[in-house]
């Protein structure tokens, strides 16, 4: 999961396409825009179906099925009674009110505003609790890997993506069931003549599924502003600068000219180099304000209110920091270098770290270590993985295809250009200094308590899954259940996120991978040798687990889960000033929502590692993926709260057992066919 080196031969053709600033017409369409789509970016947005509200009866059934593996039989019987009373009583009333509210807001989804409110009202610090980390695959060509070179190309590709989005020229986000047949010019020609009001349904006929793109507008120029009780998001889409941080010092750097065009590569390179030169002559920030963004949100809100009581600080914060298109964090050698043999220190640093060189409130922050290793840390309230991953993939592939600067590219000197490169010098008083020191100490304590373990397992990969007809995701999730059961002798609430972006303003739905099917399999595997089922019988149980998991995935993606519906019903009770229904006080509801195992994956070859913090103090945050040559998992936990090392060792054992079952079953089938 951490392979940052790539075989150069894979990219020989891409390397040949390299273009430098000297041959670039900077105001030309080819430089200014990443894409020039035949279909406008928001072509399908109007015709996207609305996120359905599931039937109350189905939600109750799904809830009962999901809690069964983590309850005793007596607890489950008691829960059944409470659920039935809810279904026939207050649940019906709340469901009717939710439907009524949804009918009055047809421009959006029933979950969108409550979900925003949930994120923005939580007072927990952003690092570890919300902001995830994605680590980008390295560039196979050494001349493009140095920090300032990589940063320049990242900036340019990001701006090309952003300008394409603003101009409505970015390809609409479409999930193609068979890309070879539908991700074609012919498909786009047919779509172009479809009426906008029905375009999504016309696309369905091609088995191509347009996705919601409402979140994309918040990718750039967006900041989360701390407020007492509930934060707010501010947007500045007309900004022409980015925020650059180095050793805690902050700079505003113009990247667009006065007409809104992307500056030339040599100019952007020169401005970045001038920041590095200037910073090398300064001390690291004595009061690194970025640390404040790690604070508990009400504490940060109070500190910020005091900070902006100074007019100069208010202007710098609002005009230069909040309004920046994105944040670029250039780490120094003192922050550490990536070590493939032991990636944990760098991953912890990028996920949360000392935070002296971070501004976690920005929608996206690009983190670049001194050796060019690149990661993305993003604020989560405004959007989910679909939009972020699209951006991540596009800029990586753009840099491979046509990097605009290399290590040898000449730059336009910008030293002393105070108009376009502006050091941000805040006026710091004793109260702000004390707040930074307190925030630094608190964050350091939390980060020091974070444990991180990882596993690369080469016997299980995309190839073996395909060879044996297995669903990669269901196998990984089954392995998590077996690992936890054999390590800790119980079953717990497990969270797997599923996107509902096939619907207008869809967000996510929760998958519950701990099922009766996975429980039955785990119990069968852990039986004494004399009671063990045959490999064929165990393989049949694996297939059953896969079918159940596949059905849950399908239901969740189609807006037919139960978590978001119950969340919305609970939220409706609060809005209506009604007492909280008994269902939400049950042990079953509390236990299923106490996510000991919280999991997430992003299936793409541009991400070499992904990580996030545990969602409960005694739980695990599990970022995982199945690559072409291995299955990988990064597990975070808090020391003395959960045993991450024990879980990861048990996970390796679970992989061993499942792979052995699959191999034995396969050999038995082959032998039977021969006979």
- Supply 644's token pair: 């991450």
Whole-angstrom distance, CA of residue 400 vs CA of residue 409: 16
Strands (E), 276-341: 327-330
Helix H or strand E segment including 299? helix 297-307
| Strands of the sheet with 508-511, listed across from one edge | 450-457, 631-638, 620-626, 597-601, 494-499, 508-511
Look at the chain and count its residues.
675
Q: Is the dihedral of CA 36, 39, 44, 46 positive or negative?
A: positive
Q: If we measure between CA atoms, which residue out of 124, 103, 110 comes closest to residue 571?
A: 110
Contacts of residues 334-339 at CB distance under 8 Å and 24 or more positions apart, as own/partner, are: 334/247, 335/369, 335/370, 336/369, 337/369, 337/370, 337/371, 337/373, 338/4, 338/369, 338/371, 338/373
Cβ partners under 8 Å of residue 559, min gap 6: 51, 52, 54, 500, 503, 506, 509
Helix H or strand E segment including 222? strand 222-225
- Does 107 participate in catalysis according to the annotation? no
Contact 224, 233 (CB under 8 A): yes
For residue 214, CA distances in Å to 362, 378, 445, 471 come to 18, 17, 38, 30
Whole-angstrom distance, CA of residue 541 vs CA of residue 60: 26
Whole-angstrom distance, CA of residue 33 vs CA of residue 165: 9
- Supply 461's token pair: 């990969």
DSSP string spanning 398-424? HHHH--S--TT------TT-TTTEEE-
Half-sphere exposure of 98 (CA within 13 A, CB side): 29
Helix H or strand E segment including 599? strand 597-601
Helix H or strand E segment including 387? helix 385-401
Strands (E), 289-333: 327-330
Specify the DSSP class assigned to residue 508: E
Active-site option among 380, 411, 565, 571: 380
Whole-angstrom distance, CA of residue 394 vs CA of residue 157: 8
Q: Is 254 exposed, middle or buried (0-12, 13-18, 19+ CB in 10 A)?
A: buried
DSSP string spanning 341-364? T--HHHHHHHHTSS-TT--TTBSE
Q: Is the dihedral of CA 555, 558, 560, 561 positive or negative?
A: positive
Contact 529, 493 (CB under 8 A): no
Whole-angstrom distance, CA of residue 267 vs CA of residue 262: 10
- Supply 537's token pair: 């019988």
Q: Helix 112-121 to helix 563-575 angle, to the nearest 10 degrees?
A: 80
Return the SS3 of 467: helix
For residue 212, CA distances in Å to 40, 131, 542 come to 14, 22, 34
Active site residues: 380
């Amino acid at each position: 999961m951490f392979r940052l080196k790539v075989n150069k031969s894979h990219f020989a053709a891409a390397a040949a396409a390299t273009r430098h600033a000297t041959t670039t017409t900077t105001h030309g369409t080819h430089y200014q825009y990443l894409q020039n789509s035949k279909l406008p970016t928001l072509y399908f947005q109007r015709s996207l179906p609305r996120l359905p509200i599931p039937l109350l009866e189905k939600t109750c059934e799904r809830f009962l099925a999901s809690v069964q593996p983590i309850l005793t039989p007596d607890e489950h019987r008691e829960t059944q009674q409470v659920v039935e009373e809810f279904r026939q009583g207050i649940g019906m009333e709340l469901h009717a009110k939710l439907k009524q509210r949804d009918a009055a807001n047809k421009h959006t989804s029933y979950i969108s505003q409550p979900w925003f409110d949930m994120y923005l009202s939580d007072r927990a610090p952003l690092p570890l609790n919300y902001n995830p980390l994605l680590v980008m695959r390295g560039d196979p060509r050494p001349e493009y890997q140095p920090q300032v070179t990589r940063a320049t190309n990242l900036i340019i590709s990001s701006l090309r993506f952003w300008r394409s989005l603003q101009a409505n020229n970015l390809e609409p986000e479409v999930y193609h069931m068979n890309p070879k047949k539908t991700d074609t010019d012919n498909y786009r020609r047919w779509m172009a003549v479809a009426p906008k009001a029905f375009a999504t349904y016309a696309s369905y006929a091609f088995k191509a599924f347009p996705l919601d793109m409402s979140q994309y507008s918040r990718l750039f120029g967006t900041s989360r502003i701390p407020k007492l009780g509930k934060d707010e998001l501010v947007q500045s889409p007309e900004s022409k600068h980015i925020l650059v941080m180095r050793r805690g010092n902050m700079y505003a750097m113009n990247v667009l000219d006065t007409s809104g065009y992307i500056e030339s590569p040599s100019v952007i390179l020169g401005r970045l180099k001038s920041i590095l030169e200037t910073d090398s002559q300064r001390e690291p920030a004595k009061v690194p304000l970025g640390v404040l963004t790690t604070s508990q949100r009400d504490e940060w809100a109070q500190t910020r209110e005091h900070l902006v009581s100074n007019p100069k600080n208010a202007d710098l914060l609002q005009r230069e920091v909040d309004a920046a298109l994105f944040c670029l964090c250039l780490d120094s050698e003192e922050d550490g270098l990536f070590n493939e043999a032991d990636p944990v220190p760098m991953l912890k640093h990028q996920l949360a770290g000392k935070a002296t060189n971070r501004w976690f409130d920005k929608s996206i922050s690009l983190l670049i270590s001194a050796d060019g290793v690149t990661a993305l840390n993003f604020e989560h309230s405004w959007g989910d993985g679909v939009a972020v991953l699209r951006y991540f993939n596009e800029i990586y592939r753009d840099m491979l295809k046509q990097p605009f600067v290399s290590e040898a590219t000449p730059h336009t000197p910008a030293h002393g250009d105070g108009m376009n490169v502006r050091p941000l010098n805040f006026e710091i008083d004793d109260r702000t200094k004390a707040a930074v020191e307190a925030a630094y100490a608190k964050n350091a304590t939390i980060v020091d308590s974070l444990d991180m373990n990882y596993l690369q397992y080469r016997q299980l990969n995309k190839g073996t899954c395909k060879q044996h007809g297995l669903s990669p995701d269901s196998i990984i999730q089954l392995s998590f259940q077996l690992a936890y059961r054999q390590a800790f002798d119980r079953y717990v609430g497990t969270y797997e996120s599923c996107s509902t972006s096939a619907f207008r303003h869809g967000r996510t739905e929760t998958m519950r991978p701990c099922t009766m099917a996975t429980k039955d399999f785990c119990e069968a595997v852990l039986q004494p040798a004399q009671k063990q089922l045959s490999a064929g019988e165990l393989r049949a149980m694996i297939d059953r687990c896969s079918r159940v998991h596949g059905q849950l995935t399908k239901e969740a993606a189609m807006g037919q889960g139960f978590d978001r519906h119950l969340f919305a019903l609970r939220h409706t009770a609060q809005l209506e000033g009604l007492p909280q229904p008994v269902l939400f006080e049950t042990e079953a509801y509390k236990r299923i929502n106490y996510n000991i195992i919280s999991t997430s994956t992003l299936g793409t070859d541009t991400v070499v590692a992904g990580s996030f913090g545990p969602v409960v103090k005694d739980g695990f945050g599990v970022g995982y993926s199945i690559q072409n040559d291995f299955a990988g998992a990064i597990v975070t936990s808090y020391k003395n709260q959960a045993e991450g090392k024990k879980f990861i060792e048990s996970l390796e054992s679970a992989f061993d057992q499942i792979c052995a079952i699959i191999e034995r079953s396969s050999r038995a089938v082959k032998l039977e066919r021969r006979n």
